Amino acid sequence: MKTLCAACFIGFLPVLALAQTVPPLDTAPTTPPPFEPVLASAHQGPGRIGARIEYDKVTGLPYIAALIRGGPAEDFGFRVGDFIIKIDKNFTNTLTPEQVSLALHGEPGTGVQLTIQRDDDPRYIVRSLSRRVLAPGSQDVVNPPMSGVGMPPTGLNKPYNN
């Protein structure tokens, strides 16, 4: 009987010790803090990447709504509809819209690394580009490059002329 009590007590001790050391679970949903804080002092300046950013209503992720003609984003191959997953070391779902806008601005010639996801490619694309001062009156690209996914074929309904 003593051995049975001792076995039960010895088996129960680690459970008691573990129960006292595990902190209670926090049930409130929280957003993790950014990996690198986005400081206003580090992102002041007239340099821009040349893209207009909007936010997806479902995921809340920023995406490129328009490219500025002759801007760095157009030069480095970004497309309208590209989702921005990371800006430098920060995931965009951990940043507010103000922080996203601030992170894309800076001194001309300074670099920014964007991780994007394109609709026709499930892999992430990482591109580094440098901010530039855009010409006054720069306009959005009228016919931005499209990925072609879901677009009707062009020119196939016309007769072929020799």
Residues 5-29 have a mean pLDDT of 54
Q: Examine the pLDDT at 21 and tell me if it is beyond 50.
A: yes
pLDDT tens digits along 39-50: 666 667 788 899
Confidence grade of residue 113 (pLDDT, cut at 50, 70, 90): very high
Residue 67 CA: distances (Å) to CA of 29, 148, 155, 156:
35, 17, 26, 29
Report pLDDT digits (tens) over 119-129.
767 899 999 99
Kindly provide the b/e burial profile for residues 85-111, where b requires at least 16 CB atoms within 10 angstroms of the residue's own CB. bbbeebebeebeeebbebbbbbeeeee
Domain 40-130 has CATH 2.30.42.10: yes
Q: Does residue 93 contact residue 102 with C-beta atoms inside 8 Å?
A: no
pLDDT of 107 higher than 70: yes
Which two three-digit tokens encode residue 5?
Answer: 């009590």
Q: What separation in angstroms does the CA of 57 have from each of 54, 63, 86, 95, 132?
A: 9, 11, 18, 16, 29
When pLDDT is averaged across residues 30-35 and rounded to a whole number, the result is 61
- Interval 60-93: pLDDT, tens: 999 999 998 888 998 988 999 999 999 998 999 9
1-17 mean pLDDT: 54
The residues pairing with 106 across neighbouring beta strands, listed in sequence order, are 47
**What is the rounded distance in angstroms from the CA atom of residue 133 to the CA atom of residue 145?**
23
